[in-house]
Structure 1
Amino acid sequence: MDGRERRRRGVRLTAAALVALLGLAACGSGDSGGSNDSAVSAPQAAPADKDRAGGRAEQGGGQAEQGGGQAEQGGAGAPDLRVDQRSIIYTGTMRVQVDDVDAASRSAIATVTAVGGFVGGDQRRSADADATAQLELRVPAAKFHEVVDELAKLGRQQRREIHTEDVTEQVVDLDARITTQRARVESARRLLARATTITDLVSLENELSRREADLASLEAKKKRLADLTSLSTITVSLVGPDVSTADEETEIGFLVGLKGGWQVFLTSMTVLLTVLGAVLPWLLVFGVPLVVLLVVLRRRRRRGPPPVTPTGPAAPLPTAPPPVPAARSGP
């Protein structure tokens, strides 16, 4: 009986051990499944997060692309803005042949005043068909090319020269120097207000005067540049129909030299005759009496003084000395 009970107990223990082992195996499998599920869910969650991050990145990329597009648009427009903001001095020279110089001059002046400009100089020489006029016109820089084209329509354009000068760097440099100089002037004024001795007062006053003079000079330069950049200069020469249209060229040769020499001779003779005409009245008033006086004095010198006659007894004539006897040479 004891043996059977021991066997039964062994079987029960063995069965309990098997059940325990099976339970442990079931728990291990459950844990592994849970871990697998978590492992599976984790990769699934990771792509989701990646998708979200990717969406955000795509949105950010889209915004960056939009910003880049705006930057590109701004970069494309920046050069035009920079050109518009640059300080450029325009100067032009023209020569136009017209039928009526006076009428063309009035038209040119009206064109300039219509765009807000003015006439800086006006020189004319009226000689019918050989008349000429030289106008110095100041026009706004924005209307420079428009006015040049309008002036070319007054007649037959013979010459046009346009020059530009970019002074942007000079303007920027002047602005910086003016800002610095103003700060120096303010500093000198503050120091002058704190001066306590006569020596410091005189020294600071001299320094302040020097700095203010430098500031005034810089501001005058900037004002000059602003005037040249805001108002362009056009020098237009209007000539009549009979004025030579050929440009001035350097010519050489015998005929050219002969023509030049003849012109110089005529000019010299004209000047000589002009001087003679100016001096002739003085010669008639003062020269003729002077010549007559000189002639009279010369005639008196030629006649000489009258001969003087002796009044006393005549002086005896000198006599020759007596002859000297010759010496004898022998007995």
Structure 2
Amino acid sequence: MTSRTLSGPSRFLSARRHGVGAALLALAAALSLAGCGRTGDQAAPLAEPAPPPAPMSSPASLAGGMAMKEQRMRSAEPSASDQAQGGQDAPLQRFLAVRQDLNVEVPAEQLADAWGKVRDLCGTLKCELLSSSLLRETPQQPGNATLEVRVEPADVDKLLGGLAGVANVVSHTTTSEDKTAEVIDVEARIRNRTEFRDSLRTMLRDTVTKRTMADLLAIQRTLSDTQAELDAIATQRKMLAQQTSKQHIQIQFTPKRALVSSGDGYSPMRNALRNAGSVLAESVGALITFIAAVLPWLLLVVLPLGWLVRVLWRRRRAKAA
């Protein structure tokens, strides 16, 4: 066997290679140990202790919990301004309550017919009659009539067109009130109350949780109050729907008046002759009223006083004779 002797530079390079290899092996061993430690930590987590059983709730704590839940639901209820700000990207639906007031004139003899035609026209449209009144003309007062209806926006022009055919519109006023914020608030309250009512019903149907009779009665009482409040809010929403889905129209019928001009055709004598009959009737009526008022006093005071004066006068004459 032959052996080769390494020179000085060759021994130095060989030693350097052995040192680098040893360092790489040490680094790989450290990384593998660290990985094994992490894997062991993840593979064997500490077991958490089981939660203790929930104590039996008392009626006071149960009512307090329901009150706190209701308060949280009220605080989480979105307001009209929040919904308006949150829905800036989408167009906001507006709810307007529109009201129209009209004053029309018709000839006195056609007042009842015009009023009846408009009322019958309302019956053929999507129109709800709220109130109607008719006062016929008498010698003491002129006649008048009123109609108050709610009409779908699509049939408003038909109703006003039929009105213009039988009467002369003197004044027409239109007003509108924005009910958008009120409608949004009411709808949010309806959603909130509905969720709270459903949660109470779920609690009543729950047969796993042990509750006393007092707890069940408290839940039932809260459920009844919530349902009553929900019914009241639903009624308010229906009223808002009537105000915003239909237009409120009120029509006042008045008889047409003839204007008397004071031009060249005016004659005081003709006017006096025309009014002579009424003036004479008023004078005779005043005289009758005066006689009727004085006659009782005449019988009770004047006649006895005249008889007494006459008796005294006769006695005086007898003494003088």
Q: Which structure would you say has the larger Rg?
A: 1
TM-score range normalised by the length of the shorter chain:
0.3 to 0.5
TM-score, normalised to structure 2, is: 0.47
TM-score, normalised to structure 1, is: 0.45
